[in-house]
């Protein structure tokens, strides 16, 4: 398994937004309206903001001088007062199954991970990009390697959309599907998430249809309601348990927002549109949540909610005490749900040998919470020079 070192110029040389007051604004942080407002504040017509936005996202151009339909005066102003700073692509790990993991370095030296997963169907070039939303995660789900890293900060809109920007440049076209299922809890970074979603779906940028973008949450109920007011992307919920007692242990945010308030919030999100459904993510943990009784409880819990259940074989990581449920138990669990009328699939594990599978992303995080030391990283190969 080869590991590729990316010899790129460090694009993250300036301070972070919210850091030094002299930091130049990063134009990746701006949606279309933001670009138009910036350009008009510089004394130019708003349509130039549309052109600027299109150059950055549709064409992937970072050099203002190459934006030939902008006037020389505007290009000079933009060069002198702003910058376009995607995260730096630091390392790359390709997997035998076609999955590719990228380590993205941010302006403050923190690193997050992004995963591109090709759809293994002949004659089709579809793919899914798994994007991170935070440096680490504060929710401390017990079966997740990201949670063991602790939490440092939210990603900016530019750091979120910068992952899509890089994938688009690598693929030559925007990714077919984008899932906010990487490092972090997207709804804990609400405002920056919404800006990034706006950019993803804009026709002048990545043209992502609502059913092709999925936000995954562990269950921050107030922000599920807020998201329903401003966005129509697909919703996935990290459920992992069919009752409060077990979910309190596996997904601690459940102690604040238990199932009795989570389920109504999700029903509200999908509304009356018959084609919409909530995707429930359910990691299969040997002897923990995989019994026939758990299946029966899950069926009762989801009754009356338009649902898709995605069973996820647990992906082990150093320091974890959990084991993956045996395949025959996963099949029996799945079949019981299907017989009840629940649309149920089992996620195929992809990229696990490069620690790119669900629950394995770690990045490099300086934990501001100073929790227990993180477990050792997976033993990835030495980067070639």
Q: What is the pLDDT of residue 124?
A: 64
How far is C-alpha 385 from the chain's CA centre?
A: 30
Q: What is the pLDDT of residue 10?
A: 29
Q: Which carries the bigger pLDDT value, residue 346 or residue 14?
A: 346
Q: What is the pLDDT of residues 77-121, one digit of tens each?
A: 999 999 999 999 999 998 888 899 999 999 999 999 999 999 866
Is the pLDDT score of 345 beyond 90?
yes
* pLDDT, mean of residues 152-177: 96
Q: What is the pLDDT of residues 240-267, one digit of tens each?
A: 999 999 999 999 999 999 999 999 999 9
**Pairing mode, if any, of strands 4-5 and 134-136?**
unpaired
Is the pLDDT score of 166 beyond 50?
yes
pTM here is 0.85
User: Which runs of consecutive H residues, i.e. helices, occur in 172-278?
Assistant: 190-201, 221-230, 244-250, 259-270
Q: What is the pLDDT of residues 275-284, one digit of tens each?
A: 899 999 999 9
Q: Tell me if residue 149 falls in helix, strand or coil.
A: coil
Q: What is the pLDDT of residue 120?
A: 66
Q: What is the pLDDT of residue 226?
A: 98
pLDDT above 90 covers a percentage of the chain that reads 72
Q: What is the pLDDT of residue 294?
A: 98
Q: How sure is the predictor about 18, in pLDDT bands with cuts at 50, 70 and 90?
A: very low
Q: What is the pLDDT of residue 2?
A: 37
Q: How sure is the predictor about 318, in pLDDT bands with cuts at 50, 70 and 90?
A: confident
* pLDDT, mean of residues 117-134: 83
* Contact in structure between 128 and 119 (CB atoms under 8 Å): yes
Structural domains in the chain, CATH included, are 27-81 (1.10.150.530), 119-349 (3.20.20.70)
The tally of CA atoms less than 13 A away on the side-chain side of residue 220 is: 16
Dihedral sign for Cα atoms in the order 168, 173, 174, 175? negative
Q: What is the pLDDT of residue 121?
A: 63
Q: What is the pLDDT of residue 122?
A: 56
Is the pLDDT score of 229 beyond 60?
yes
Q: How sure is the predictor about 347, in pLDDT bands with cuts at 50, 70 and 90?
A: confident
* Contact in structure between 133 and 185 (CB atoms under 8 Å): yes
d(CA 293, CA 243): 11
**Cα–Cα separations (whole angstroms), residue 79 to 38, 70, 73, 247:** 13, 12, 10, 51
Neighbouring C-beta atoms of residue 76, cutoff 10 Å: 13
Q: What is the pLDDT of residues 348-382, one digit of tens each?
A: 765 444 444 444 444 444 555 544 333 333 333 33
Least confident stretch, 35-44, 52-61, 298-307, 354-363: 354-363
Tokens representing 10 are: 């460090």
* pLDDT, mean of residues 33-50: 98
d(CA 306, CA 273): 10
Query: Hey, which residues are catalytic here?
Result: 113, 358
Is the pLDDT score of 312 beyond 60?
yes
């Amino acid at each position: 398994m080869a590991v590729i070192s990316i010899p790129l110029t460090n694009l993250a040389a300036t301070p972070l937004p919210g850091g030094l007051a002299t930091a130049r604004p990063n134009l990746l942080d701006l949606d279309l309206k933001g670009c138009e407002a910036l350009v008009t504040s510089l004394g130019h017509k708003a349509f130039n903001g549309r052109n600027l936005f299109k150059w950055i996202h549709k064409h992937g151009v970072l050099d203002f001088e190459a934006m030939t339909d902008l006037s020389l005066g505007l290009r000079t102003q933009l060069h002198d007062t702003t910058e376009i700073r995607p995260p730096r692509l630091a390392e790359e790990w390709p997997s035998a199954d076609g999955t590719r993991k990228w380590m993205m370095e941010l302006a403050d030296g923190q690193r997050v991970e992004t995963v591109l997963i090709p759809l293994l169907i002949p004659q089709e070039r579809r793919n899914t990009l798994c994007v991170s939303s935070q440096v680490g995660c504060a929710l401390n789900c017990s079966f997740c390697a990201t949670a063991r890293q602790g939490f440092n900060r939210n990603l900016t809109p530019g750091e979120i959309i910068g992952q899509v920007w890089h994938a688009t440049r690598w693929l030559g076209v925007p990714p077919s599907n984008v899932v906010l299922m990487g490092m972090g809890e997207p709804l804990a970074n609400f405002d920056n998430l919404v800006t990034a979603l706006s950019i993803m779906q804009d026709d002048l940028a990545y043209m992502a249809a609502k059913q092709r973008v999925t936000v995954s949450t562990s269950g921050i109920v107030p922000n599920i309601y807020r998201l329903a007011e401003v966005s129509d992307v697909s919703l996935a919920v990290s459920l992992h348990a069919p009752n409060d007692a077990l979910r309190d242990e596996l997904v601690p945010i459940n102690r604040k927002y238990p199932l009795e308030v989570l389920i109504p919030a999700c029903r509200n999100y999908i509304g009356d549109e018959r084609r919409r459904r909530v995707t429930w993510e359910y990691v299969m943990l040997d002897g923990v949540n995989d019994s026939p009784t758990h299946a029966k409880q899950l069926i009762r819990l989801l009754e009356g909610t338009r649902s898709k259940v995605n069973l996820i074989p647990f992906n082990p990581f150093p320091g974890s005490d959990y084991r993956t449920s045996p395949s025959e138990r996963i099949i029996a669990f799945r079949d019981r749900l299907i017989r009840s009328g629940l649309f149920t699939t089992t996620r195929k594990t992809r990229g696990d040998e490069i620690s790119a599978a669900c629950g394995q992303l770690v990045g490099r995080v300086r934990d501001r919470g100073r929790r227990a030391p993180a477990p050792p990283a997976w033993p990835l190969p030495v980067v070639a020079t």
